[in-house]
Structure 1
Amino acid sequence: MDVVSDAISAVRLGRPSSTRLRVNGRWCARIAPYEGAGFHVVLSGSCWMLPDLPYTGPGIHLNRGDVVLLAHGSGHVIADRPADRATVERAVDFERWSPAALAGSPPETELLCGKYRLDRRHTHPLIAELPDVVHIPSGPGRDSGLCAAVGLLEHEVRGGHLGSAIAVPSLLDLLLVHLVRAWMADSTTSPWPAALHDPAVAAALHALHQDPARRWSNDSLAAQVGVSRATLARRFTALVGRAPMTYLTWWRLTRAAALLRTTPDALDSIAQRVGYSTPYALSHAFSRQYGTTPGRYRAAAVTA
Structure 2
Amino acid sequence: MDILSDVLAVVRAGRPRSALVGWDAPWAQRFPPVPGAVGFRVVLRGECVLIPSDGVPVRLGTGDVVLLPHGGTHVLADHADTPPATEVCDPDLAEPPPVHGDTMTLCGAYELAPAGGHPLLRDLPEVVHLSGGPELRSTVDLLAAELLRPGLGTDGVVPALLDLVLLYALRTWFAERRPGWGAALRDPVVSRALEAIHTEPARPWTVASLAERGGLSRAPFARRFTELTGRSPGRYLTWWRMTTAARLLRESDVPLAVVAEKVGYRSEFAFATAFKRQYELAPGRYRRFAAGARDVRS
TM-score (norm 2): 0.90
Matches within 5 A, 1:99-110: 107-110=101-104
The AA in structure 1 aligned to 2:61 is N
2:191 — aligned with what? 202
**Aligned in 2, Cα 1:91/1:78: closer, same or farther, shift over 3 Å?**
farther
What is the rounded CA distance, in whole Å, between the counterparts of 2:284 and 2:97 in structure 1? 45
What is the rounded CA distance, in whole Å, between the counterparts of 2:110 and 2:220 in structure 1? 38
What is the rounded CA distance, in whole Å, between the counterparts of 2:201 and 2:55 in structure 1? 46
The AA in structure 1 aligned to 2:158 is V
1:143, distance to aligned residue in structure 2 (A): 2.1
**Aligned in 2, Cα 1:165/1:235: closer, same or farther, shift over 3 Å?**
same
- CA deviation string 1:157-204 (max 9, x = no partner): 11112111111011111111111111112253x311111111111101
2:201 to 208, 212, 230: 212
Structure 2 unaligned spans of 5+: 294-298
> Are 2:32 and 1:32 equivalent residues in the alignment?
yes
1:82, distance to aligned residue in structure 2 (A): 2.2
1:120, distance to aligned residue in structure 2 (A): 5.8
SS at match of 1:25: coil
Residues paired across the two proteins, number = 290
Matches within 5 A, 1:1-304: 1-35=1-35, 36-52=37-53, 59-83=57-81, 87-88=83-84, 90-95=85-90, 107-119=101-113, 121-137=115-131, 142-188=132-178, 190-304=179-293
SS at match of 2:49: strand
What is the rounded CA distance, in whole Å, between the counterparts of 2:51 and 2:198 in structure 1? 39
1:57, distance to aligned residue in structure 2 (A): 6.6
Contact 1:8 1:127 in 2 (8 A): no
Contact 1:22 1:99 in 2 (8 A): no
1:100, distance to aligned residue in structure 2 (A): 6.0
Contact 1:10 1:124 in 2 (8 A): no
- CA deviation string 1:279-304 (max 9, x = no partner): 22211211222211000011111111
SS at match of 2:90: helix
**Aligned in 2, Cα 1:218/1:51: closer, same or farther, shift over 3 Å?**
closer
Contact 2:19 2:96 in 1 (8 A): no
Identity %: 44
Contact 2:69 2:127 in 1 (8 A): yes
What is the rounded CA distance, in whole Å, between the counterparts of 2:114 and 2:51 in structure 1? 24
Contact 2:211 2:218 in 1 (8 A): yes
Contact 1:23 1:100 in 2 (8 A): no
1:110, distance to aligned residue in structure 2 (A): 1.2
Structure 1 unaligned spans of 5+: none
1:222, distance to aligned residue in structure 2 (A): 1.9
**Aligned in 2, Cα 1:41/1:243: closer, same or farther, shift over 3 Å?**
same
TM-score (norm 1): 0.89
Contact 2:19 2:97 in 1 (8 A): no
1:58, distance to aligned residue in structure 2 (A): 6.1
Contact 1:260 1:298 in 2 (8 A): yes
1:91, distance to aligned residue in structure 2 (A): 4.3
**Aligned in 2, Cα 1:33/1:73: closer, same or farther, shift over 3 Å?**
same
CA RMSD of aligned residues (A): 2.2
